[in-house]
Structure 1
Protein backbone atom coordinates (compact mmCIF):
# COMPACT_ATOMS: atom_id res chain seq x y z
CA UNK A 1 0.00 0.00 0.00
CA UNK A 2 2.78 2.42 0.92
CA UNK A 3 6.10 2.41 -0.88
CA UNK A 4 8.70 4.41 1.00
CA UNK A 5 5.85 6.37 2.61
CA UNK A 6 4.78 7.55 -0.86
CA UNK A 7 1.18 7.13 -1.92
CA UNK A 8 0.74 4.34 -4.46
CA UNK A 9 -1.55 6.12 -6.92
CA UNK A 10 -3.31 3.93 -9.45
CA UNK A 11 -1.42 4.58 -12.70
CA UNK A 12 -2.28 3.64 -16.25
CA UNK A 13 0.32 4.32 -18.95
CA UNK A 14 -1.29 4.71 -22.37
CA UNK A 15 1.17 4.58 -25.25
CA UNK A 16 0.90 6.80 -28.30
CA UNK A 17 -0.74 5.60 -31.49
CA UNK A 18 1.81 7.50 -33.55
CA UNK A 19 5.55 8.15 -33.48
CA UNK A 20 6.50 9.80 -30.20
CA UNK A 21 8.31 13.09 -30.65
CA UNK A 22 7.24 14.98 -27.53
CA UNK A 23 7.14 14.49 -23.74
CA UNK A 24 4.56 12.34 -22.01
CA UNK A 25 1.47 14.06 -20.63
CA UNK A 26 0.40 13.59 -17.01
CA UNK A 27 -3.37 14.06 -16.57
CA UNK A 28 -4.82 14.92 -13.13
CA UNK A 29 -8.60 14.55 -12.86
CA UNK A 30 -11.13 16.50 -10.82
CA UNK A 31 -13.04 15.68 -7.64
CA UNK A 32 -15.62 12.84 -7.80
CA UNK A 33 -14.23 11.80 -11.18
CA UNK A 34 -11.41 9.47 -12.22
CA UNK A 35 -8.73 9.16 -14.85
CA UNK A 36 -11.12 7.24 -17.08
CA UNK A 37 -14.17 9.40 -16.47
CA UNK A 38 -12.43 12.78 -16.74
CA UNK A 39 -10.05 12.07 -19.62
CA UNK A 40 -10.86 8.81 -21.42
CA UNK A 41 -14.64 9.19 -21.80
CA UNK A 42 -14.19 12.80 -22.93
CA UNK A 43 -11.71 11.59 -25.60
CA UNK A 44 -8.61 13.40 -24.34
CA UNK A 45 -6.66 10.13 -24.34
CA UNK A 46 -7.42 9.35 -27.97
CA UNK A 47 -6.74 12.93 -29.03
CA UNK A 48 -3.31 12.98 -27.39
CA UNK A 49 -2.20 9.43 -28.21
CA UNK A 50 -3.21 10.03 -31.86
CA UNK A 51 -0.98 13.11 -31.74
CA UNK A 52 2.04 11.03 -30.71
CA UNK A 53 1.90 11.57 -26.96
CA UNK A 54 2.28 8.90 -24.29
CA UNK A 55 -0.21 9.54 -21.48
CA UNK A 56 0.18 9.00 -17.72
CA UNK A 57 -3.32 8.59 -16.31
CA UNK A 58 -3.72 8.48 -12.52
CA UNK A 59 -6.56 8.08 -10.05
CA UNK A 60 -6.38 10.35 -7.02
CA UNK A 61 -6.84 8.83 -3.55
CA UNK A 62 -10.49 8.03 -2.87
CA UNK A 63 -11.22 7.71 -6.59
CA UNK A 64 -11.32 5.11 -9.34
CA UNK A 65 -11.71 1.35 -9.17
CA UNK A 66 -9.68 0.97 -5.96
CA UNK A 67 -10.43 4.16 -3.96
CA UNK A 68 -8.87 2.87 -0.73
CA UNK A 69 -5.63 1.48 -2.14
CA UNK A 70 -3.66 4.03 -0.08
CA UNK A 71 -3.17 4.15 3.68
CA UNK A 72 -1.66 7.19 5.34
CA UNK A 73 -2.22 10.87 4.60
CA UNK A 74 -4.05 11.93 1.44
CA UNK A 75 -3.03 15.57 1.88
CA UNK A 76 -2.06 17.55 -1.25
CA UNK A 77 1.63 17.55 -0.27
CA UNK A 78 1.57 13.73 -0.20
CA UNK A 79 -0.20 13.58 -3.56
CA UNK A 80 2.50 15.88 -5.01
CA UNK A 81 5.22 13.55 -3.74
CA UNK A 82 3.44 10.57 -5.29
CA UNK A 83 3.17 12.32 -8.66
CA UNK A 84 6.86 13.22 -8.54
CA UNK A 85 7.72 9.59 -7.74
CA UNK A 86 5.70 8.38 -10.74
CA UNK A 87 7.50 10.72 -13.12
CA UNK A 88 10.93 9.86 -11.72
CA UNK A 89 10.30 6.11 -11.45
CA UNK A 90 9.24 5.94 -15.08
CA UNK A 91 12.36 7.93 -16.02
CA UNK A 92 10.13 10.11 -18.16
CA UNK A 93 12.20 13.25 -17.79
CA UNK A 94 10.11 16.42 -17.62
CA UNK A 95 6.46 15.83 -18.57
CA UNK A 96 3.64 18.10 -19.63
CA UNK A 97 0.85 18.34 -17.05
CA UNK A 98 -2.88 18.88 -17.57
CA UNK A 99 -5.22 19.22 -14.59
CA UNK A 100 -8.92 19.95 -14.26
CA UNK A 101 -10.88 21.42 -11.32
CA UNK A 102 -9.35 19.88 -8.15
CA UNK A 103 -6.71 18.55 -10.54
CA UNK A 104 -5.87 22.12 -11.52
CA UNK A 105 -5.07 23.00 -7.89
CA UNK A 106 -2.87 19.90 -7.58
CA UNK A 107 -1.24 20.56 -10.97
CA UNK A 108 -0.48 24.19 -10.03
CA UNK A 109 1.24 23.08 -6.84
CA UNK A 110 2.99 20.13 -8.51
CA UNK A 111 4.51 22.36 -11.19
CA UNK A 112 5.41 25.08 -8.67
CA UNK A 113 7.24 22.65 -6.35
CA UNK A 114 8.77 20.49 -9.13
CA UNK A 115 9.79 22.81 -12.00
CA UNK A 116 12.47 20.31 -13.05
CA UNK A 117 9.78 17.68 -13.71
CA UNK A 118 7.37 19.82 -15.75
CA UNK A 119 7.72 21.35 -19.24
CA UNK A 120 4.32 22.98 -19.69
CA UNK A 121 1.24 23.29 -17.48
CA UNK A 122 -2.41 23.40 -18.56
CA UNK A 123 -5.09 23.92 -15.93
CA UNK A 124 -8.81 23.83 -16.67
CA UNK A 125 -11.67 25.12 -14.54
CA UNK A 126 -9.21 26.70 -12.09
CA UNK A 127 -9.87 29.11 -9.28
CA UNK A 128 -7.67 30.98 -6.84
CA UNK A 129 -9.52 29.43 -3.91
CA UNK A 130 -9.81 25.86 -2.70
CA UNK A 131 -12.87 24.37 -4.42
CA UNK A 132 -13.47 22.01 -1.49
CA UNK A 133 -12.71 24.35 1.43
CA UNK A 134 -16.35 25.39 1.80
CA UNK A 135 -17.69 21.84 1.64
CA UNK A 136 -19.68 21.07 4.80
CA UNK A 137 -18.50 17.57 5.67
CA UNK A 138 -20.82 17.13 8.67
CA UNK A 139 -23.92 17.92 6.60
CA UNK A 140 -22.80 15.62 3.78
CA UNK A 141 -22.08 12.72 6.12
CA UNK A 142 -25.41 13.16 7.91
CA UNK A 143 -27.18 13.19 4.56
CA UNK A 144 -25.59 9.87 3.56
CA UNK A 145 -26.19 8.23 6.95
CA UNK A 146 -29.70 9.46 7.77
CA UNK A 147 -31.04 11.18 4.67
CA UNK A 148 -30.96 14.54 6.45
CA UNK A 149 -31.33 17.50 4.08
CA UNK A 150 -28.17 19.41 3.13
CA UNK A 151 -28.79 23.10 3.87
CA UNK A 152 -25.58 24.49 2.34
CA UNK A 153 -26.18 25.06 -1.39
CA UNK A 154 -22.57 24.60 -2.41
CA UNK A 155 -22.26 21.32 -0.51
CA UNK A 156 -25.53 20.11 -2.05
CA UNK A 157 -24.18 20.89 -5.55
CA UNK A 158 -20.94 19.00 -4.97
CA UNK A 159 -22.90 16.07 -3.56
CA UNK A 160 -25.06 15.97 -6.70
CA UNK A 161 -21.87 15.72 -8.77
CA UNK A 162 -20.44 13.00 -6.51
CA UNK A 163 -23.63 10.92 -6.60
CA UNK A 164 -24.01 11.25 -10.37
CA UNK A 165 -21.22 8.69 -10.89
CA UNK A 166 -22.57 5.44 -9.34
CA UNK A 167 -19.11 3.96 -8.86
CA UNK A 168 -18.02 6.74 -6.47
CA UNK A 169 -17.33 5.70 -2.86
CA UNK A 170 -18.79 8.68 -0.97
CA UNK A 171 -17.09 7.89 2.34
CA UNK A 172 -13.71 7.73 0.58
CA UNK A 173 -14.41 11.05 -1.13
CA UNK A 174 -15.22 12.58 2.27
CA UNK A 175 -11.88 11.33 3.60
CA UNK A 176 -10.09 13.03 0.71
CA UNK A 177 -11.93 16.30 1.37
CA UNK A 178 -10.84 16.10 5.01
CA UNK A 179 -7.22 15.62 3.93
CA UNK A 180 -7.38 18.48 1.44
CA UNK A 181 -8.86 20.80 4.06
CA UNK A 182 -5.79 20.07 6.22
CA UNK A 183 -3.61 21.98 3.74
CA UNK A 184 -5.45 25.10 2.56
CA UNK A 185 -4.76 26.21 -1.00
CA UNK A 186 -2.70 29.37 -1.35
CA UNK A 187 -1.63 29.72 -4.99
CA UNK A 188 0.41 32.81 -4.19
CA UNK A 189 2.64 30.84 -1.78
CA UNK A 190 4.46 29.19 -4.68
CA UNK A 191 3.80 30.11 -8.30
CA UNK A 192 4.71 27.90 -11.29
CA UNK A 193 7.66 29.07 -13.35
CA UNK A 194 6.85 26.85 -16.35
CA UNK A 195 4.69 28.13 -19.25
CA UNK A 196 1.05 27.90 -18.13
CA UNK A 197 -2.28 27.86 -19.99
CA UNK A 198 -5.45 28.69 -18.03
CA UNK A 199 -8.73 27.44 -19.53
CA UNK A 200 -12.34 27.79 -18.34
CA UNK A 201 -15.87 28.03 -19.62
CA UNK A 202 -17.24 31.57 -19.57
CA UNK A 203 -20.25 30.21 -17.65
CA UNK A 204 -18.08 28.53 -14.97
CA UNK A 205 -18.91 30.03 -11.57
CA UNK A 206 -15.93 28.24 -10.00
CA UNK A 207 -13.47 29.96 -12.36
CA UNK A 208 -14.39 33.58 -11.64
CA UNK A 209 -11.08 34.01 -9.78
CA UNK A 210 -9.02 32.74 -12.74
CA UNK A 211 -7.76 36.30 -13.49
CA UNK A 212 -6.12 36.35 -10.05
CA UNK A 213 -4.10 33.26 -11.01
CA UNK A 214 -3.03 35.00 -14.20
CA UNK A 215 -1.87 38.04 -12.24
CA UNK A 216 0.22 35.78 -10.02
CA UNK A 217 1.82 34.22 -13.11
CA UNK A 218 2.46 37.62 -14.72
CA UNK A 219 3.98 39.02 -11.53
CA UNK A 220 6.26 35.98 -11.31
CA UNK A 221 7.38 36.47 -14.92
CA UNK A 222 5.83 33.16 -16.01
CA UNK A 223 4.75 32.89 -19.66
CA UNK A 224 1.00 32.37 -19.67
CA UNK A 225 -2.09 32.30 -21.88
CA UNK A 226 -5.83 32.22 -21.17
CA UNK A 227 -8.66 30.59 -23.12
CA UNK A 228 -12.31 31.25 -22.27
CA UNK A 229 -14.69 28.67 -23.77
CA UNK A 230 -17.89 30.30 -24.99
CA UNK A 231 -21.08 28.91 -23.46
CA UNK A 232 -19.30 26.27 -21.39
CA UNK A 233 -19.65 25.69 -17.65
CA UNK A 234 -17.60 23.76 -15.10
CA UNK A 235 -19.28 20.45 -15.92
CA UNK A 236 -18.92 20.49 -19.70
CA UNK A 237 -15.84 22.60 -20.45
CA UNK A 238 -13.65 19.49 -20.30
CA UNK A 239 -15.48 17.94 -23.28
CA UNK A 240 -14.69 20.90 -25.54
CA UNK A 241 -12.67 20.12 -28.68
CA UNK A 242 -11.41 23.71 -28.65
CA UNK A 243 -9.93 23.02 -25.21
CA UNK A 244 -8.12 19.92 -26.51
CA UNK A 245 -6.80 21.71 -29.59
CA UNK A 246 -5.57 24.74 -27.63
CA UNK A 247 -3.97 22.53 -24.97
CA UNK A 248 -2.04 20.41 -27.49
CA UNK A 249 -0.95 23.49 -29.43
CA UNK A 250 0.26 25.14 -26.22
CA UNK A 251 2.21 22.04 -25.16
CA UNK A 252 3.87 21.97 -28.57
CA UNK A 253 4.80 25.67 -28.43
Structure 2
Protein backbone atom coordinates (compact mmCIF):
# COMPACT_ATOMS: atom_id res chain seq x y z
CA UNK A 1 0.00 0.00 0.00
CA UNK A 2 1.32 3.51 -0.76
CA UNK A 3 2.37 5.56 2.29
CA UNK A 4 2.64 9.35 1.99
CA UNK A 5 5.50 11.15 0.24
CA UNK A 6 5.96 13.75 -2.48
CA UNK A 7 4.09 13.46 -5.76
CA UNK A 8 7.18 14.43 -7.80
CA UNK A 9 9.41 11.74 -6.31
CA UNK A 10 9.83 8.24 -7.67
CA UNK A 11 8.12 5.68 -5.37
CA UNK A 12 10.07 3.07 -3.43
CA UNK A 13 8.94 -0.56 -3.24
CA UNK A 14 9.95 -2.33 -0.01
CA UNK A 15 10.33 -6.14 -0.03
CA UNK A 16 10.77 -7.81 3.35
CA UNK A 17 12.61 -11.01 4.25
CA UNK A 18 11.54 -14.57 4.94
CA UNK A 19 9.45 -15.02 8.12
CA UNK A 20 9.22 -11.24 8.53
CA UNK A 21 6.66 -8.64 7.37
CA UNK A 22 6.44 -5.04 6.25
CA UNK A 23 5.60 -4.07 9.82
CA UNK A 24 8.64 -5.79 11.31
CA UNK A 25 11.12 -5.20 8.52
CA UNK A 26 10.28 -1.63 7.55
CA UNK A 27 7.85 0.08 9.94
CA UNK A 28 9.28 -0.97 13.31
CA UNK A 29 12.89 -0.43 12.21
CA UNK A 30 12.28 3.14 11.05
CA UNK A 31 12.67 2.66 7.31
CA UNK A 32 9.26 4.02 6.32
CA UNK A 33 9.62 7.16 8.43
CA UNK A 34 13.16 7.70 7.07
CA UNK A 35 12.06 7.38 3.45
CA UNK A 36 8.93 9.52 3.81
CA UNK A 37 10.99 12.19 5.59
CA UNK A 38 13.23 12.16 2.50
CA UNK A 39 10.16 12.90 0.37
CA UNK A 40 9.60 9.43 -1.03
CA UNK A 41 6.34 7.58 -1.53
CA UNK A 42 6.57 4.08 -0.07
CA UNK A 43 4.85 0.96 -1.43
CA UNK A 44 4.79 -1.95 1.00
CA UNK A 45 3.58 -5.51 0.59
CA UNK A 46 3.43 -8.60 2.78
CA UNK A 47 4.55 -11.71 0.91
CA UNK A 48 2.16 -14.70 0.83
CA UNK A 49 1.89 -16.36 4.22
CA UNK A 50 3.55 -13.39 5.91
CA UNK A 51 2.21 -10.51 7.98
CA UNK A 52 -1.32 -9.55 6.99
CA UNK A 53 -1.32 -11.49 3.72
CA UNK A 54 -3.36 -14.63 3.26
CA UNK A 55 -1.76 -18.05 3.61
CA UNK A 56 -3.53 -20.08 0.90
CA UNK A 57 -3.11 -23.81 0.47
CA UNK A 58 -2.25 -23.44 -3.23
CA UNK A 59 1.54 -24.02 -3.43
CA UNK A 60 1.84 -22.02 -6.65
CA UNK A 61 1.08 -18.82 -4.73
CA UNK A 62 4.46 -19.08 -3.02
CA UNK A 63 6.55 -19.53 -6.16
CA UNK A 64 9.02 -16.65 -6.69
CA UNK A 65 7.87 -16.29 -10.31
CA UNK A 66 4.24 -15.96 -9.16
CA UNK A 67 5.24 -13.45 -6.49
CA UNK A 68 7.09 -11.35 -9.08
CA UNK A 69 3.99 -11.36 -11.28
CA UNK A 70 1.91 -10.23 -8.31
CA UNK A 71 4.45 -7.48 -7.57
CA UNK A 72 4.21 -6.27 -11.14
CA UNK A 73 0.42 -6.08 -10.79
CA UNK A 74 0.85 -4.22 -7.49
CA UNK A 75 3.05 -1.62 -9.19
CA UNK A 76 0.57 -1.26 -12.03
CA UNK A 77 -2.28 -0.78 -9.55
CA UNK A 78 -0.19 1.82 -7.70
CA UNK A 79 0.15 3.82 -10.92
CA UNK A 80 3.86 3.21 -11.49
CA UNK A 81 4.77 4.31 -15.01
CA UNK A 82 7.62 3.07 -17.23
CA UNK A 83 10.86 4.98 -16.77
CA UNK A 84 11.06 8.19 -18.78
CA UNK A 85 13.98 10.63 -18.81
CA UNK A 86 11.66 13.63 -18.66
CA UNK A 87 9.64 12.31 -15.70
CA UNK A 88 11.52 12.01 -12.36
CA UNK A 89 8.47 10.32 -10.81
CA UNK A 90 8.41 7.50 -13.36
CA UNK A 91 9.50 3.96 -12.58
CA UNK A 92 10.25 2.66 -9.11
CA UNK A 93 13.21 2.22 -6.81
CA UNK A 94 13.34 -1.04 -4.86
CA UNK A 95 14.73 -1.88 -1.43
CA UNK A 96 14.80 -5.55 -0.50
CA UNK A 97 16.10 -7.46 2.48
CA UNK A 98 17.16 -11.12 2.53
CA UNK A 99 14.49 -13.01 0.52
CA UNK A 100 13.27 -9.59 -0.56
CA UNK A 101 16.70 -8.95 -2.09
CA UNK A 102 16.46 -12.14 -4.11
CA UNK A 103 13.02 -11.13 -5.39
CA UNK A 104 14.28 -7.62 -6.13
CA UNK A 105 17.27 -8.94 -8.09
CA UNK A 106 14.97 -10.97 -10.33
CA UNK A 107 12.38 -8.18 -10.60
CA UNK A 108 15.04 -5.68 -11.67
CA UNK A 109 16.48 -8.13 -14.20
CA UNK A 110 13.11 -8.87 -15.79
CA UNK A 111 11.54 -5.40 -15.56
CA UNK A 112 14.30 -2.94 -16.51
CA UNK A 113 11.70 -0.60 -18.02
CA UNK A 114 10.28 -0.02 -14.52
CA UNK A 115 13.12 -0.37 -12.00
CA UNK A 116 15.45 2.61 -11.67
CA UNK A 117 17.80 1.72 -8.79
CA UNK A 118 17.87 -0.96 -6.11
CA UNK A 119 19.22 -1.39 -2.59
CA UNK A 120 19.69 -5.04 -1.62
CA UNK A 121 20.22 -5.80 2.06
CA UNK A 122 21.57 -9.11 3.35
CA UNK A 123 22.04 -10.45 -0.19
CA UNK A 124 23.87 -13.63 -1.10
CA UNK A 125 24.75 -15.55 -4.21
CA UNK A 126 23.65 -18.80 -2.60
CA UNK A 127 20.06 -19.69 -1.71
CA UNK A 128 19.69 -20.79 1.94
CA UNK A 129 15.99 -21.52 1.44
CA UNK A 130 16.71 -23.85 -1.49
CA UNK A 131 19.10 -25.76 0.78
CA UNK A 132 16.69 -25.65 3.74
CA UNK A 133 16.31 -28.99 5.55
CA UNK A 134 12.53 -29.37 5.38
CA UNK A 135 12.41 -32.80 7.01
CA UNK A 136 14.65 -31.64 9.82
CA UNK A 137 12.58 -28.50 10.32
CA UNK A 138 9.36 -30.47 10.51
CA UNK A 139 10.91 -32.86 13.02
CA UNK A 140 12.09 -29.93 15.10
CA UNK A 141 8.67 -28.27 15.04
CA UNK A 142 7.10 -31.58 16.11
CA UNK A 143 9.48 -31.72 19.06
CA UNK A 144 11.23 -34.88 17.89
CA UNK A 145 14.77 -33.66 17.22
CA UNK A 146 16.67 -30.59 16.16
CA UNK A 147 17.90 -30.25 12.60
CA UNK A 148 21.64 -30.77 12.19
CA UNK A 149 21.86 -28.11 9.48
CA UNK A 150 23.06 -24.84 11.00
CA UNK A 151 21.51 -22.54 8.40
CA UNK A 152 18.14 -24.28 8.68
CA UNK A 153 18.28 -24.08 12.47
CA UNK A 154 18.98 -20.34 12.34
CA UNK A 155 16.17 -19.64 9.85
CA UNK A 156 13.80 -21.72 11.95
CA UNK A 157 14.84 -19.88 15.10
CA UNK A 158 14.16 -16.51 13.44
CA UNK A 159 10.79 -17.72 12.14
CA UNK A 160 9.66 -19.03 15.53
CA UNK A 161 10.74 -15.81 17.23
CA UNK A 162 8.01 -13.82 15.44
CA UNK A 163 4.64 -14.17 17.21
CA UNK A 164 1.84 -15.22 14.89
CA UNK A 165 4.03 -16.66 12.14
CA UNK A 166 2.22 -19.40 10.21
CA UNK A 167 4.89 -22.10 10.12
CA UNK A 168 2.94 -24.24 7.65
CA UNK A 169 2.77 -21.33 5.19
CA UNK A 170 6.47 -20.58 5.65
CA UNK A 171 7.38 -24.19 4.91
CA UNK A 172 5.11 -24.09 1.86
CA UNK A 173 7.13 -21.13 0.62
CA UNK A 174 10.35 -23.06 1.22
CA UNK A 175 8.98 -25.95 -0.86
CA UNK A 176 8.10 -23.55 -3.69
CA UNK A 177 11.53 -21.93 -3.56
CA UNK A 178 13.19 -25.33 -3.75
CA UNK A 179 11.47 -25.73 -7.11
CA UNK A 180 12.63 -22.28 -8.24
CA UNK A 181 15.99 -21.72 -6.51
CA UNK A 182 17.88 -18.45 -6.84
CA UNK A 183 20.42 -18.57 -9.65
CA UNK A 184 21.67 -14.98 -9.97
CA UNK A 185 23.52 -15.62 -13.23
CA UNK A 186 20.25 -16.56 -14.99
CA UNK A 187 19.16 -12.91 -15.16
CA UNK A 188 21.30 -10.00 -14.00
CA UNK A 189 19.86 -6.55 -13.25
CA UNK A 190 21.71 -3.82 -15.13
CA UNK A 191 20.62 -0.77 -13.14
CA UNK A 192 22.82 0.67 -10.36
CA UNK A 193 22.75 -1.40 -7.14
CA UNK A 194 23.77 -0.83 -3.55
CA UNK A 195 24.48 -4.10 -1.71
CA UNK A 196 24.51 -3.83 2.08
CA UNK A 197 25.33 -6.54 4.61
CA UNK A 198 26.61 -6.94 8.13
CA UNK A 199 30.20 -8.12 8.18
CA UNK A 200 29.07 -10.95 10.48
CA UNK A 201 26.24 -12.03 8.16
CA UNK A 202 27.02 -15.55 6.95
CA UNK A 203 23.93 -15.59 4.72
CA UNK A 204 25.38 -12.64 2.77
CA UNK A 205 28.87 -14.06 2.34
CA UNK A 206 28.30 -14.11 -1.42
CA UNK A 207 27.47 -10.40 -1.68
CA UNK A 208 30.83 -9.57 -3.33
CA UNK A 209 30.05 -12.15 -6.01
CA UNK A 210 26.75 -10.41 -6.75
CA UNK A 211 28.52 -7.05 -6.91
CA UNK A 212 31.03 -8.41 -9.42
CA UNK A 213 28.28 -10.06 -11.44
CA UNK A 214 26.35 -6.80 -11.64
CA UNK A 215 29.21 -4.59 -12.69
CA UNK A 216 27.19 -1.59 -11.46
CA UNK A 217 27.09 -2.29 -7.74
CA UNK A 218 28.46 -0.61 -4.65
CA UNK A 219 29.09 -2.83 -1.61
CA UNK A 220 28.70 -1.57 1.95
CA UNK A 221 29.63 -3.76 4.92
CA UNK A 222 28.27 -2.85 8.34
CA UNK A 223 30.76 -3.57 11.17
CA UNK A 224 29.48 -5.89 13.88
CA UNK A 225 26.10 -6.48 12.23
CA UNK A 226 24.49 -9.85 11.52
CA UNK A 227 21.68 -10.96 9.21
CA UNK A 228 19.21 -10.44 12.04
CA UNK A 229 20.11 -6.85 12.94
CA UNK A 230 21.70 -5.20 9.88
CA UNK A 231 18.30 -3.94 8.74
CA UNK A 232 18.02 -1.70 11.83
CA UNK A 233 21.30 0.11 11.09
CA UNK A 234 21.06 3.90 10.78
CA UNK A 235 24.10 3.80 8.49
CA UNK A 236 22.19 1.40 6.21
CA UNK A 237 19.20 3.76 6.02
CA UNK A 238 21.31 6.84 5.35
CA UNK A 239 23.31 5.07 2.66
CA UNK A 240 20.10 3.90 0.96
CA UNK A 241 18.54 7.37 0.95
CA UNK A 242 21.73 8.89 -0.46
CA UNK A 243 22.13 6.18 -3.10
CA UNK A 244 18.53 6.42 -4.31
CA UNK A 245 18.85 10.19 -4.43
| TM-score of the two chains, using structure 1 as the length reference | 0.89
Does the residue aligned with 1:203 lie in a helix, a strand or coil? coil
Does the residue aligned with 2:186 lie in a helix, a strand or coil? coil
Q: Is the 8 A contact 2:9 2:39 kept in 1?
A: yes
Q: What is the rounded CA distance, in whole Å, between the counterparts of 1:20 and 1:46 in structure 2?
A: 16
Q: Is the 8 A contact 2:59 2:172 kept in 1?
A: no
Q: What is the rounded CA distance, in whole Å, between the counterparts of 1:24 and 1:205 in structure 2?
A: 31
Q: How far did 1:149 drift?
A: 2.5
Corresponding residue of 1:14: 3
Does the residue aligned with 2:142 lie in a helix, a strand or coil? helix
Q: How far did 1:72 drift?
A: 5.3
Q: How far did 1:147 drift?
A: 3.6
For residues 81-122 of structure 1, the C-alpha deviation after alignment (integer angstroms, 9 at most, x for no partner) is 111111112222211000001111110001000011111111
RMSD in angstroms over aligned alpha carbons? 1.4
Corresponding residue of 2:183: 186
Q: Is the 8 A contact 1:102 1:131 kept in 2?
A: no
Q: How far did 1:70 drift?
A: 7.6
Q: What is the rounded CA distance, in whole Å, between the counterparts of 2:77 and 2:161 in structure 1?
A: 35
Q: How far did 1:75 drift?
A: 0.8
Q: What is the rounded CA distance, in whole Å, between the counterparts of 2:146 and 2:228 in structure 1?
A: 24
Which one is further off, 85-94 or 42-51? 85-94
In structure 1, which of residues 230, 234, 237 is the aligned counterpart of residue 227 of structure 2?
A: 234
Corresponding residue of 1:207: 204
Does the residue aligned with 1:150 lie in a helix, a strand or coil? coil
- State whether structure 2 residue 77 is matched by structure 1 residue 89: yes
Change (3 A) 1:72 1:155: closer
Q: What is the rounded CA distance, in whole Å, between the counterparts of 1:152 and 1:203 in structure 2?
A: 19
Q: How far did 1:193 drift?
A: 1.1
For residues 28-65 of structure 1, the C-alpha deviation after alignment (integer angstroms, 9 at most, x for no partner) is 00011001100000000000011111111111111112
Which one is further off, 23-32 or 59-68? 59-68
Q: Is the 8 A contact 2:122 2:197 kept in 1?
A: yes
Does the residue aligned with 2:243 lie in a helix, a strand or coil? helix
- State whether structure 2 residue 31 is matched by structure 1 residue 38: no
Q: What is the rounded CA distance, in whole Å, between the counterparts of 1:178 and 1:242 in structure 2?
A: 35
Does the residue aligned with 1:191 lie in a helix, a strand or coil? coil
Change (3 A) 1:108 1:143: same
- State whether structure 2 residue 12 is matched by structure 1 residue 25: yes
Q: Is the 8 A contact 1:128 1:186 kept in 2?
A: yes
| TM-score of the two chains, using structure 2 as the length reference | 0.92
Q: What is the rounded CA distance, in whole Å, between the counterparts of 1:151 and 1:72 in structure 2?
A: 26
Q: How far did 1:224 drift?
A: 2.0
Q: Which stretches in structure 1 are left out of the alignment for 5+ residues?
A: 1-11
